[in-house]
């Protein structure tokens, strides 16, 4: 069976949205994984906060409480950014699927020839917006990790200082 140039052109035109649909699926999957990691971390922080406010005993409780609350606020922002990016990816996916369908409809019915291109452009813009959101989320995640490391070093310094003070007190008592 010989294929007409129109059917080959149609098939070629429909491949581009199919590739973008596949890309959206991959991005949705990886972004969902990011969201799951944020949810897991929030659960860990919530448990830590419960322990810190439930009469826990230990060193530097106020500092630890403040750090947990700071981290929870950052993770709330990260969760919102990821949710918005997922929404944008799903919108993009829908627009690319619609674009592929519109290519076929426009080719056979000879109506709305502008629709596939418009849907493709809108899908690309939604894809771009989601990517910008995830860049912001990634920057926030890196800042959060850096702040958490700084806090761990601050706790170390507080413990070292307390230990040194204890040694000084022992020397003073031994000298008297």
Q: Which tokens in the block code for residue 70?
A: 């700071």
- The pLDDT-based confidence of 5 (bands split at 50, 70, 90) is low
Per residue in 121-132, pLDDT tens? 999 999 999 999
pLDDT at 6: 64
From the list 64, 35, 36, the residue with the least C-alpha distance to 50 is 64
What φ, ψ does residue 12 adopt, rounded to 5°?
-60, -45
Per residue in 36-83, pLDDT tens? 999 999 999 999 999 888 877 888 889 999 999 999 999 999 999 999
Per residue in 88-144, pLDDT tens? 999 999 999 999 999 989 888 888 899 999 999 999 999 999 999 999 999 999 999
> Domain residue spans in the chain?
5-140
H/E stretch holding 60 reads none
CA distances from 176 to 166, 167, 170 (A): 16, 14, 10
pLDDT at 101: 92
pLDDT at 133: 98
């Amino acid at each position: 069976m010989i294929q007409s140039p129109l059917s080959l052109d149609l098939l070629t035109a429909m491949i581009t949205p199919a590739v973008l649909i596949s890309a959206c699926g991959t991005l949705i999957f990886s972004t969902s994984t990011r969201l799951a990691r944020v949810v897991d971390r929030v659960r860990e922080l919530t448990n830590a906060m419960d322990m810190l406010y439930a009469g826990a005993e230990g060193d530097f409780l106020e500092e630890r409480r403040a750090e947990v609350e700071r981290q929870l606020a950052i993770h709330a922002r990260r969760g919102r950014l990821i949710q918005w990016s997922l929404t944008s990816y799903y919108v993009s996916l829908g627009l690319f699927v619609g674009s592929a369908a519109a290519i076929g409809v426009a080719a056979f019915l000879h109506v709305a020839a502008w629709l596939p291109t418009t849907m493709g452009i809108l899908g690309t813009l939604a894809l771009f917006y989601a990517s910008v959101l995830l860049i912001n989320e990634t920057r926030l995640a890196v800042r959060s990790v850096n702040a958490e490391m700084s806090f761990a070093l601050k706790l170390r310094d507080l413990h070292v200082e307390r230990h040194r003070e204890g040694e000084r007190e022992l020397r003073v008592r031994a000298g008297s």
